[in-house]
Structure 1
């Protein structure tokens, strides 16, 4: 995916009601990204229902007479006892789910050393999830946090709304350096008021304050949870590049480091591995599946493998140690 650059003068397109004003260059990137996602996902994820939460559902419905081959675990014993005829309890199929994206665009995401910035990877992941949700006819909404502002897009069904959501996401301005993100607050926006059962997808690098586990765990009591962790390889290990100045985008602090020191690079890798292991453990405790996307990998293939695994009914839990890809 090519990186959207600064818009040319006069590149803004006039907005129609219900649409966001997006520079023409970003609009072109949106079209290419949507085309790539649609071709890749629709070509490999066959079936009439491409949602991330497949299956017959869990909400109880009406009872009907038992037929050979029905799941005996769904026997409706009270009705069976009253009628003296075996009955099974039907369930409401998982259609028209309400999916919420919690999208972290804090300054730590404005970083990338390989194919793209982490911010662009967040946008790509959100596009793929939105496509899967809209394809199945579900409602999708979003909470977007940058550290400077928090935006809410209500959950609505339909492809037009999905494209509107992606335009709003693409048009979200970058936060100024030195502003710290608040993922916990964004998660609280989904928790209150309580919503009907659905799915919550959190897209972030999960860096900064680690106070997001409690609200995420609260969401897990009612919703399916998916944590999409985005990272860059330089966050896992340092190259031997000599004297390098590091800048924390969320605090503005600077530090000069001599990266030619092999022991220092080893300590950095160990600390990074411990940090990623802690993030994985927090996601696991909250009951969330994990998808790890990297700026140096084929993120579309990673998403396809993840969805295929879910469709087989296998929970995709966070890896037990850092450095492992969350999808196999």
Structure 2
């Protein structure tokens, strides 16, 4: 356990240094966490453009002008953001530069760093196996760093986490509109978490951070390997030299990721994918830049 805590502290310190040095200079201006815009404070109206959120239709202006208009909103200055961080056993896996767990902590650190600027509050719910933990939302960098350390030092536990129950903890008790971020590999069946996620997306600006390892998308040709399910402990030997097996695996993995992406779109969630073989900080910067570009063109996702 001490070794695990020491590693978590090293990883967290390195991530916070990278975020402080690089993220501040690249992501400036009005923001709503990692989703810049739209906030809840009413602004001016403008003509509807394809891709606009129909929930923001300005019906009085539309009736007067006979042209569809949407009500623009101003970025919130006092934002409450909540993170749902899945740290189940399947996140303790990685075959490239990082473990998936490291990327989950990195995503939480990036969101927290951006949110707490300006006195905003950030809280979290963490799921490990059958345990669900709520950490209250507090303002300020010191409290945000304490929150991140609590997340990073959360010990792994055996068993499969209930992602649906974890997401549902952000729906209760009801809160005013804010930012909700779900960080997971979404490996649990889609039917278990799709409905709570849709419910969450109705009230809040929603960001889903999907953490992926390349070996979850395709198998290399390395002969016989022993695969162990970290959540159940079951082991299975696989002959990766079989091209048909590798093809079936890649096809099933693509279908699984397609179902995940479809469920995230159905919840109106912005979708950020972080891979263990990529530069996670650069991926975050590109994502935020794409979101801001989409906002300026009138699209929401």
Give the TM-score of the pair, scaled to structure 1: 0.78
- Cα contact 1:309–1:316 (8 A) shared by 2: no
Cα distance between partner residues in 1 of 2:32 and 2:18: 16
1:100 aligns to what? 82
Residue 306 in structure 1 maps to residue 296 in structure 2: no
Which one of 98, 123, 126 corresponds to residue 108 of structure 2? 126
Which one of 20, 39, 42 corresponds to residue 21 of structure 2? 39
Q: Secondary structure at the match of 2:85?
A: strand
- Cα contact 1:95–1:136 (8 A) shared by 2: yes
1:283-298 matched pairs, under 5 angstroms: 283-298=264-279
Q: Secondary structure at the match of 1:291?
A: strand
Give the TM-score of the pair, scaled to structure 2: 0.85
Could you say if the C-alpha distance between residues 267 and 92 of structure 1 is closer, same or farther in structure 2, counting changes exceeding 3 Å? closer
Residue 255 in structure 1 maps to residue 236 in structure 2: yes
1:7 aligns to what? 2
1:231-288, CA deviations, whole angstroms, 9 ceiling, x for partnerless residues?
1000001011111111112222221111000111011111100000000001011111
Structure of higher CA gyration radius: 1
Cα distance between partner residues in 1 of 2:229 and 2:181: 26
Residue 144 in structure 1 maps to residue 126 in structure 2: yes
Could you say if the C-alpha distance between residues 228 and 316 of structure 1 is closer, same or farther in structure 2, counting changes exceeding 3 Å? farther
1:35-60, CA deviations, whole angstroms, 9 ceiling, x for partnerless residues?
10111111212336573343363344
Shift of 1:309: 2.0
Residue 209 in structure 1 maps to residue 189 in structure 2: yes
1:233 aligns to what? 214
Cα distance between partner residues in 1 of 2:125 and 2:300: 24
Which structure has the higher relative contact order (CA within 8 Å, separation 6+)?
A: 2
Could you say if the C-alpha distance between residues 47 and 270 of structure 1 is closer, same or farther in structure 2, counting changes exceeding 3 Å? same
Q: Secondary structure at the match of 1:142?
A: strand
1:281-309, CA deviations, whole angstroms, 9 ceiling, x for partnerless residues?
01011111100000000110010011122
Could you say if the C-alpha distance between residues 147 and 140 of structure 1 is closer, same or farther in structure 2, counting changes exceeding 3 Å? same
Cα distance between partner residues in 2 of 1:289 and 1:114: 25
Shift of 1:217: 0.5
1:195-206 matched pairs, under 5 angstroms: 195-206=175-186
Which one of 98, 111, 119 corresponds to residue 93 of structure 2? 111
Cα distance between partner residues in 2 of 1:170 and 1:299: 17
Give the unaligned 5+ runs of structure 1: 1-5, 9-21, 62-69, 79-88, 318-328
Cα distance between partner residues in 2 of 1:237 and 1:76: 49
Residue 173 in structure 1 maps to residue 168 in structure 2: no
Q: What is the RMSD of the two structures over their aligned residues, measured on CA atoms?
A: 2.6
More helix by share: 2
Cα distance between partner residues in 2 of 1:295 and 1:90: 37
Could you say if the C-alpha distance between residues 153 and 241 of structure 1 is closer, same or farther in structure 2, counting changes exceeding 3 Å? same
